[in-house]
Each structure stands twice: as C-alpha cells, then as structure tokens.
Amino acid sequence: MKDFTSGAVVYRTEYPVAVIELNRPRALNALNKEVFEILGEIIDEISCDDNIKVVILTGNGEKAFAAGADVEELKSLNTMEARNFALAANRTQEKLSGLSKATIAALNGFTLGGGCELAMCCDIRIASEKAKFGQPEINLGIIPGGGGTQRLSRLVGVAKTKELIFTGRIIPAQEALQIGLVNMVVRPEDLMDKAKKLALEIAGKSGCAITLAKRSIDEGSEMNLDGALHYEIECFAQCFSTEDHKEGIEAFLQKRIPVFHHL
C-alpha cells in the first residue's frame, strides 16, 4: 500500500471512516495535475477497503477547501493540453462520484471553480459559515471544465447556474444553503465534528443498502421518470438478496438496534 501521509493530498483511516485532505494550504489547496493523480490513487485504495464505509473530503487550513484550478498551471496550456487536463480531472472526479461508499465534503473556506466542481462530486456537502462558493472562471475568459455547467445545474437549476457562471459571482455559505448547493452550514470549529458524526451515523446503516440507494438516485436522475421508477424497483429487489435486509427486519420485529455486517 502506498504512503499517503504527506504530499499534495493526504489520507488517513479512522475506521469505518476515511478522511482525505487536500494539502496545499499555501496555494489555497489549488487543484493541479498532481492533486488529481494522487486523489485518484487514494480513491482506488478506498474502493478496495471493505472496512471503509464513508469518506470525508476536506481541505487543509482554514482559508480554503480548494480555491480552484492552479492558474499557474493553466496559463501556458494550449487547446489540446487544456482538453487533456480536463479529461484527467474528469477521470478522478468520476471515480469519486461513482464510489459505492457515501461521501461527505467538509468545506472549510473558499470552494471555487474546480474546488466547487470537486465538492459537487460528493454525496453530501457540509459548509463552514466562512465558506464561499462560486464558478468564477468567466473572469479568466474561460468556462468551467470540471463539471460546473452540468453538476451545478442538476443541483440548483439551470437559471441559477447561468447566473452564477455568467457573472462569476461568489456567494456565502448561507446563500449556497438556500439554493441547494450545500446540505447544511455549521460553525467553523464544528465542521469536522459534524462531518464525522454524520459519517458515523451513515456507517451504522447497511452498506449494501447505501450502495443501492446511491446507485438508484444517481442513475435514476439521468433517466425519464418511468425508467427511473423501474430501476428503483430493481435496486429495491436486490436488497432482498442481502443478509443485511434479514438483520434489519429481524431487529425491527424484535425491537432492537440492527447490527449490519454489510453482506
């Protein structure tokens, strides 16, 4: 197993939770090719570790989760190089969004551009009161290239997405909560405690059911309603092939707390 205890992205296990931390605080955790490569490797490790049930993604320092892509790296790119950079980022983002485990983004400061796009790959977003959000790429004469035009519109609607992307406006955490970009806003000092408490709550549920619920929600959102409803039925039915469903029903009938083994 590779050592991820230092470098541009660090990773630690607090079973049944894993914590990934973007670790370039002097650069406001700006995202570059190295960050995406390491993050992709870490996600591969996590996907193979059955002891991990929930993943928390955050940034080192109080100022930023990630203030966007590293402009120093972007400034010299030509069209082909820009495409390759976006494709490499996309590969890692797809690994994160497609992870069968639940993911929580703990957003501790600037969450801009690529940082906002990365946060949107997580299932749940918790923001510090000091966090700020936006897709300000328009100010650089470019557009979002890491899912901003697509994931943001699916979360907050097309009209609000156009407003934010066309203006490059940066919004505070409370506004992000109001438009549905984040799930909750907490005091900065409570951010990681809240994220870990939520992670442990989710980790106590059936991992099989979490995976199937996530799959049904994510895949179904891309289908028409009739197709999505039938896909949900298939996922629902698959639950009945697991040991967890037996434990859950027996615990309910016996009026006790279920002990799931994620089987």
Identify residue 189 by its one-letter amino acid code: E
d(CA 131, CA 177): 11
Tokens of 135: 């897709």
d(CA 147, CA 126): 19
Closest CA to 55 of 100, 109, 4, 115: 100
Per-residue CA distances from 249 to 70, 237, 254 (Å): 50, 15, 9
Catalytic residue among 137, 175, 219, 250: 137
d(CA 112, CA 117): 8
d(CA 160, CA 166): 10
Would you call 14 a catalytic residue per the annotation? no
Tokens of 42: 């870490």
| Angle between helix 207-220 and 243-253 (nearest 10) | 110
For the chain, how many residues are written?
263
Catalytic residue among 117, 175, 201, 222: 117
Residue 10's DSSP bridge partners are 21
Would you call 189 a catalytic residue per the annotation? no
d(CA 9, CA 21): 6
Residue 105's DSSP bridge partners are 57, 125
Contact between 132 and 109 under an 8 Å Cβ cutoff? The reply is yes
Active site positions, annotated: 117, 137
